Amino acid sequence: MKLALILAAGLSLSGCASMKGTFANRLACTADGKLALVASMYGPIGIASKVADEDSAAVCSVPAKMP
């Protein structure tokens, strides 16, 4: 049983190396520039967390460039 768990862990971790771009952390600011979020992306699914207010002010103070 122990060997099977070690083998499963090894195979699952080695697969992560071949999935470039699947796992990423992305920074996003709200449209009004008052809040920043970090989205941890796991393929098409993401989990967002708020950034501290002091850091949000520093990161989101630069206006976005619109196309």
- The tens digit of pLDDT for each residue in 36-51 reads 999 998 888 889 999 9
User: Does the residue 43 lie in any domain?
Assistant: yes
3-class secondary structure, 45: strand
User: Does the residue 62 lie in any domain?
Assistant: no
The tally of CA atoms less than 13 A away on the side-chain side of residue 55 is: 9
Residue with tokens 């070690």: 6
What is d(CA 17, CA 21) in angstroms, rounded to the nearest whole number? 10
User: Does the residue 59 lie in any domain?
Assistant: no
Q: Which two tokens stand for residue 46?
A: 């993401």
User: Does the residue 39 lie in any domain?
Assistant: yes
| pLDDT over 90 at 61, yes or no | no
pTM of the predicted model as reported, rounded to 2 decimal places: 0.56
pLDDT value at position 3? 84
Q: Which domain holds residue 32?
A: 21-52
What is d(CA 21, CA 15) in angstroms, rounded to the nearest whole number? 13
Alpha helices in the chain (DSSP H): 2-16, 53-59
pLDDT value at position 48? 93
pLDDT tens-place string over residues 3-27: 888 877 766 665 555 566 678 888 9
Tally of structural domains, the chain: 1
